[in-house]
Amino acid sequence: MLLEIDDVSLLYGRIQALHGISLTVDEGEVVALIGANGAGKSTTMRAISGIRPVAAGRIRFQGEDITKLRADLRVRRGLCQAPEGRGIFPGMTVLENLDMGAYTRRDRAGIAQDLNRVLDLFPRLAERRKQHGGTLSGGEQQMLAVGRALMSRPKLLLLDEPSMGLAPMLIQQIFSIITEINEQGTTILLVEQNAQQALARAHRAYVLETGRIVKSGTGAELLHDPAVKEAYLGVA
């Protein structure tokens, strides 16, 4: 197992956001985490990337217990998150943003290689390489966030709502890029409100409701599950 989360609970002050969540991600997989607003999807991501401390439970990455490890050291272990929404550096240019993604690395040749790879994946970013992050459109910022996370050459890429606020065409595009990244060998854990797309692309998926995992299965299984259909796919 690449990532194992075992019975993790998390508190925001006195409000319990996660109630004993357990999930696993195997090498090479795309795993999706779906659920409504406020179900605890982004909170789960924060617990994994180490931005929020967990109250109970264990997180293991490549067999190593990282529950208490600092967020920046988790990046060095190969775990990198693209934050949701506008989590890019607005005052830095596109290239500087991508460069920040490689902050933990020192192998210049490898960084240059990955930069070319990211610019190939996202031709739009190549066009706007000298532009400030803050002046990009929502979709471009989203691409920048994903591209920047790739620059750390992660073993596990965490994507928090990569399709949020995007036009339908862009959503298609970003999901096909996610598949492509996975086919190039990066394991992906994906949080999405867009259940349709996420389930269609994921090998396996978990359904989160008010801080608990209520269902899990392969993407195709959940896509055809009546309860999931009704709650998340807008089909009666």
Partner 1 sequence: MTTVLERVRSGREAAGERWRGAPRWVRWALLAAVIVFFYALPNREFYQYLGPIPTPGANFTQVMFTVSIYVLLAVGLNIVVGFAGLLDLGYFGFFAVGAYTVAVLTSPSSDVKTLWPWLLAVPVAIGLTMVSGVMLGTPTLRLRGDYLALVTLGFAEMIRIAAVSSEFLKGQRGFNQIPHPPGQYADGKPVFGVLDARPYYWLVLTLIILVVIGVRNLTHSRVGRAWISIREDEDAAQLMGVPTFKFKLWAFAAGAAIAGLAGALFAGKQNFVNSQNFELLNSIIILAAVIFGGSGNIVGAIVGGGLVAYMIERFRGIELFGVELYEYRFLFFGLVLVVMMIFRPEGLIPNRRRAAEFKDRRKEVTVGE
User: Other C-beta atoms within 10 Å of 223: how many?
Assistant: 19
Residue 200 C-beta: closest distance to partner 1, Å = 27
Element (H, E) at 20: strand 15-25
Tell whether residue 229 is a contact of partner 1 (CB under 8 A).
no
148: tokens are: 């920047």
- Residue from 4, 99, 209, 221 touching partner 1 (CB under 8 A): that is 99
The interface region with partner 1, picked from 10-18, 26-34, 85-93, 202-210 by CB under 8 A, is 85-93
Residues 25-44: x/- map of binding to partner 1 (CB under 8 A)? --------------------
Whose Cβ is closer to partner 1: residue 106's or residue 226's?
106
Which residues fall within 8 angstroms of residue 31, CB to CB, at 6 or more apart? 23, 25, 188, 189, 190, 202, 203, 204, 205, 206
Which residue in this structure is represented by tokens 């210049």? 108
Tell whether residue 159 is a contact of partner 1 (CB under 8 A).
no
68: tokens are: 């208490």
Tell whether residue 19 is a contact of partner 1 (CB under 8 A).
no
Residue 135 C-beta: closest distance to partner 1, Å = 7
Give 89's DSSP letter: -
CA distance 212 to 206: 10
220: tokens are: 């195709």
Query: What residues make contact with partner 1 under the rule CB under 8 A?
Result: 49-51, 70-73, 75-76, 80-83, 86-92, 96, 99-101, 103-104, 132-135, 148-149, 152
